[in-house]
Chain A
Amino acid sequence: MTAATMLLAQAAEQSTSGAAEFWVFWLLAPLSLAAAVSVVLLKNPVHASLMLVVNFFTFAVFYAILQGQFLATIQVIVYAGAIMILFLFVLMLLGVDRAGEQGPGKVKGQKVAAILMGSALFIALTATVAGPFMGTDSACNSSPAVQESIAAQGGEARPCIGLEQLNADENGGNVAQIGRLLFIDYVWPFEVTSVLLVIAAIGAMVLGKRNDRLSELVDVGTADAPGVPHLVEGTTPAGELADDTDDTTDETGDLAREGQS
């Protein structure tokens, strides 16, 4: 037994077994897909967002079995926790009953075209991204017997042993390794990200500020060219200036002066 095979056997003992990964994947992949389809299909946005939470939890499990323990934790805290709470909060704020889609859409054949293009995208992604890694020699957790048979056929057994070594206890585990990368190799992107978060927080506060005075929100324009005349109190709509007898300014938001000029 060479040193390499010793290392392989040792890593196989440390990692989760291939069978466990197999059953977890085939249990959760259909659940993940079903939850994603429900997000698209369910009419009630609250139900859709709860399905999205289910989807996020299955993602957390996938990260965990792909040796990304830190990301699995972050997925639960940030996505399933913070982001979904924000979504649900806005849904409740805006009112669920009137949030639905009323009437048919404006574009004809949109759904059929969307599904066709989505299928085309899926086929393209499958062929290009997933295609080269579908063989059993791309499995990271196969049992020693399977690895030996792959090696006997000239393939590379356990091609992805590196991550388990990085995540091993003597290296500090997954969190320490990611911290090392984040604060040494990627420290500049990390700092830029903090600026981005500050900008996002300030932007959300500025956008969320309720502005009751419409004139600050809407382009009032000048005396020569009023911006949105019928919405600004105290000003005469431009269309009525041109023709006083025509008093059919509609309330749908279309400008009266559009028909006049």
Chain B
Amino acid sequence: MSPEAGIPAGYYLLLAAALFSIGVVGVLVRRNMIVIFMCIELMLNAVNLTLVAFSRINGNLEGQVLSFFVMVVAAAEVTVGLALIVNLFRLRASIDADDADRLRL
């Protein structure tokens, strides 16, 4: 593959798929709730990259606008999620996801 041919859009989709899978594995493997949260952010970003790549392929900006909305929702999700984690830490003195296996104290 020569540099002059550029990068086929599928390579970005491939990279996004790999990053999404890494995020999924991270959510399943790690038990630190903050790291799990970071892996969720990774997955959201991979989806964003897919949207932007498709926006490029289709030649319109709708994918980028959807990606913008994903970012807004991710920001809202992070504020509430981290507040929940802080509250859970106050109750259990641990941010290990395995310790949070009961709804009551």
Contacts and interface: CB of A to CB of B under 8 A. Distances in A.
Given A59-B45, A106-B98, A22 B58 contact: no
Q: Secondary structure at chain A's binding surface: helix, strand, loop or mixed?
A: helix
A118 B22 contact: yes
Contacts of B85: 90, 94
B69 A139 contact: no
A204 B42 contact: no
Nearest to A101: B31
Interface in A76-128: 78-79, 82-83, 86-87, 90-91, 93-94, 98-102, 105-106, 110-111, 113-115, 117-119, 121-122, 125-126
Contacts of B30: 40, 101
Q: Interface size bucket, A side? A: 35 or more
Contact size range, B: 35 or more
Contact of A114 (B29, B34, B64, B80): B29
B9 A133 contact: yes
Contacts of A32: 15, 19
A55 B22 CA distance: 12
B13 A130 contact: yes
Given A83-B78, A105-B31, A139 B7 contact: yes
Contacts of B68: 70-71, 74, 178, 182
Interface string A168-206: 000000100110011000100100010011011101100
B53 A203 contact: no
Contacts of A29: 11, 15
Contact of A140 (B3, B28, B56, B79): B56
B75 A78 contact: yes
Contacts, number: 294
Interface string B19-60: 111111110111110110111011001001110110111111
B98 A23 contact: no
Given A83-B75, A160-B58, A196-B72, A121 B20 contact: yes
Contacts of A223: none
B65 A182 contact: yes
Interface string B66-80: 011101111111111
A74 B65 CA distance: 12
Nearest to A20: B3
Contacts of B79: 86, 200-201, 203-204
Contact of A68 (B3, B9, B38, B55): B55
Interface of B: 1-15, 17-26, 28-32, 34-35, 37-39, 41-42, 45, 48-50, 52-53, 55-62, 64-65, 67-69, 71-80, 82-87, 89-91, 94-96, 98, 102, 104-105
Given A99-B32, A105-B98, A178-B68, 8 more contacts: A21-B6, A40-B30, A40-B39, A125-B17, A126-B17, A133-B10, A165-B59, A193-B73
Interface of A: 18-19, 21-23, 25, 29, 32-33, 36-37, 39-40, 45, 48-49, 52, 55-56, 59, 62-63, 66-68, 70-71, 74-75, 78-79, 82-83, 86-87, 90-91, 93-94, 98-102, 105-106, 110-111, 113-115, 117-119, 121-122, 125-126, 129-143, 145-146, 159-163, 165-166, 174, 177-178, 181-182, 186, 189, 193, 196-197, 199-201, 203-204, 207-208, 210, 217-219, 227-228, 231, 253
